[in-house]
Structure formats: C-alpha cells, structure tokens
Amino acid sequence: TEILSLKAVRKAYNVGTPIETEVLHGIDLSLRAGEFAALVGPSGSGKSTLLHLIGLLERPTSGEIHIGGERIGALDEAGLTRLRGRSLGFVFQFHHLLPGFSALENVMMPSLIERGRYDAAMRRRAEWLVARVGLAGAMHKKPSELSGGMQQRVAVARALAGNPPLVLADEPTGNLDTHTADEIFTLMRDFNREEGTAFLIVTHDPRLAARCDRSIELVDGRLYAGQAT
C-alpha cells in the first residue's frame, strides 16, 4: 500500500510576478508504507521545498499529492492540520524542542495539541518512547540539560509519539558529529523496522543514504532516479 504519492507536482514561488521561479518541475513519486528512503541532491535542488509540500506546510502550484489515501487538494486548512497530526511526524536539523518543558513533556506535546486534552495512554506512549531512545533517566530534564545527541533523540521520540505512518526528517543528523549521527540514524532505522513507520530523510551524507532502502535524488527540481540501493 502507498502512504504517499505525488503526481506531476510543480512548485513555483512569486507566481504572477516578474520574478516567478519554478523550483519543482513535475515530480512523480510514491512511497510505500514502511519504506525507509533517503532524499538526496545538491543544495538548491529543491529538497526542502519538496519536504514542505509533503509536510503540508505549503501547497503545490499544480499537480496532486495524496497522503494516506487522502487528496490534499480537497482539504481546507483545518483538514490539512488534522491530516498532518494524524499521518506525519517531523524531525528537523535543529531539534526545535521547547526550552521550558522536560524531555517527556516535549514528546507528549504534539499529541496533546492534536487531541486537545491529556490522557494516560498518551503519557504511557511518551514514557515508553523516551525510554526506547535511551533517556529513561533523563525524562524530566530540560533540553538545555541534554547534549546535542540527546536532544535529537528526544526529537525522534516526539516524531513517533502519535504513531504516524510517515516521518519526514530534514537533515536530522546535519548538526551532529559522525558517531552521534550514526546513533540517531540507527534509532530511526530501528523504529522503521519495529513499528513499520515509513521515513523520508533528507541527508547530505552518502554513508547514511546507502543504509536506506532507496535513494531519491533531486537535481535542479527534477527527480533523477528512485532506484533501490
């Protein structure tokens, strides 16, 4: 089954002005449930833009995107927010943890916001995740009390909190040393195998891309290849 499909997706900025620029030129792409894919390509090739479209932060200029079988063109803002909360998890290059809250609270936050109320199952899931990423002893620490690698572990746990079928990661290891990058990558790979979560990971690290099921390469806003690695 498909978790994600893009058909003839184009994205232009400053549409209708003299500086209109098309950044993505007709992207056809699909991702199966449980797939673990790298998104690679030179700087400026459109990776962030593509991730923003799939993450429902921006709409395509033309073409169709389906996530979990839903056609996003048919959804209003509230519908997009709901689909994002139900279907997607996010990991960023910089962890974006809330400084005033503990590791555990940070992991619970998206589910809390999405459901609008606290429940015990949510907390159990968050506690389990924090332990699973190796931070059982640091659950109540604030982000500033954690190392960069630990902060990114919390961010990975947070992305998984709502059991999303797809996690989007924009250079999740770009800010880490090689050893820590490997650990974070392995953690995502483990969740992929244990929970069947699909991942789409932007990375500049060929070693990490080679450890994915598949490399999707963007060059100048076009998909270059989607072959198995």
Q: Which is nearer to ligand ADP, 45 or 111 (CB)?
A: 45
In Å, how far are 39, 87, 134 from 200, measured between CA atoms?
7, 13, 23
Kindly state the smallest distance separating residue 224's Cβ from ligand ADP, in Å. Answer: 13
- Where do contacts with ligand ADP occur on this chain (CB under 6 A)? 13, 21, 23, 41, 43-49
Kindly state the smallest distance separating residue 196's Cβ from ligand ADP, in Å. Answer: 28
Q: Which is nearer to ligand ADP, 23 or 33 (CB)?
A: 23
Kindly state the smallest distance separating residue 122's Cβ from ligand ADP, in Å. Answer: 30
Q: Which is nearer to ligand ADP, 21 or 30 (CB)?
A: 21
Q: Which is nearer to ligand ADP, 45 or 151 (CB)?
A: 45
Kindly state the smallest distance separating residue 127's Cβ from ligand ADP, in Å. Answer: 32
Q: Which is nearer to ligand ADP, 46 or 165 (CB)?
A: 46
Kindly state the smallest distance separating residue 65's Cβ from ligand ADP, in Å. Answer: 16
Q: Which is nearer to ligand ADP, 133 or 223 (CB)?
A: 223
Which residue has 């195998």 as its token pair? 193
Kindly state the smallest distance separating residue 42's Cβ from ligand ADP, in Å. Answer: 7
Buried b (16+ CB within 10 A) or exposed e, 214-224: bbbbbeebebe
> Pairing between strand 198-202 and 21-32?
unpaired
Please list, in sequence order, all residues whose beta carbon lies within 8 angstroms of the beta carbon of residue 79, skipping any fewer than 6 positions away. none
164, 85 Cβ separation under 8 angstroms = no
